[in-house]
Structure 1
């Protein structure tokens, strides 16, 4: 695979992944959406189908990794790190594009939600039940969950451990299905990965919202910070390192476990 194919494949695939995944979060969250309050099952299956679509689209071009944790795991498995920067660049930019498209698709709903009197009254557009910073502001706003993840119980080591464990399971599953720098997963393998993402959401997604992908969280969080959304609240940068570091550690652990147990 050429660097150009890898970059374009990862950019488009990750954009589709985040568009559909962020889209289901927007559908469940935003006022006047037909799917408002559809619940956690809708979100987990929505993200599973998002992985399915993004990976199928990009599989022939880049192998459909779409996740720096997967890219790190594959690099450890194969020993080839030469294309890792290209993968990461395409993934991050794609995630930002996907998040921007969620805002475009739900533009009117974001406006309706963030100008709703109940939301505005809830303290600078933030959840009054959430944690509060020294300046009295909430670290996350009423639509941050459309873009990025956040913990239900804010405990650094528990949150980090949850992301590491879940990502290790995901990447180890992918590696044992045969993904390398030259061999993409077949159609059945992609379907099984998508179902694994659904399973991880159902089993381990409750504590943190299961980022299990650094760019899936970081790219949309940057977009949330930049978009002109009224009363949007903060972007919770104090937490933002956990869904980046945790999955990267999990991907590296999965690569190490593969080398020790399966190579």
Structure 2
């Protein structure tokens, strides 16, 4: 893939996403957040891509995956007024629908288009399929890591400033002094928690912390540690013995991954 193709796709993305904006600050706020999120995910894709020595053409492909991974969010919010996939539609599938309906990828090579579509299709899946070729899997893993890094940043910024999160971002979950046992159990067992188990804002925070068990690249762990977003989210949780144990498990996982040298 060539850089001039990426430039064209970025221009198309800007025109498409801005067509959803109404000019009303409150109405547009969730969509403006998604536009900014996309830009940072693209930056993360470049950072992580360089860490695994992608070629120039592969870097353009990686950034395109980042550019379009949440494309369906805009139609989702206009149609359903939520970013909650369980209450509306799978935003990855919506993203692919938009790409197919607009034919914006038609100038790319067939294998490049397939790589982009497949990476978007699985970027929000509970797990990656086991039957994918390694050449495509790398982009699936990159987008899952790049997306998590920025989702942590967005939510951690609310926590740092003691601000109420944008309701659409936290799926309209209530800020209750409780947390679900299944969410805690998942972290204790060192696995990702499930979206369907969330009942409160604390569950949302814990679920995000559990994502450390689904990271793929050493640079992702290093960035997660360096940026401090997970620590900020953890500090915003209530003071409780069980939650301290959970936070300790998350912190240990991060430290182990950062300070363990890969085998040569």
Higher-RCO chain (CA-CA 8 Å, sequence separation at least 6) = 1
TM-score by length of 2: 0.34
TM-score by length of 1: 0.34
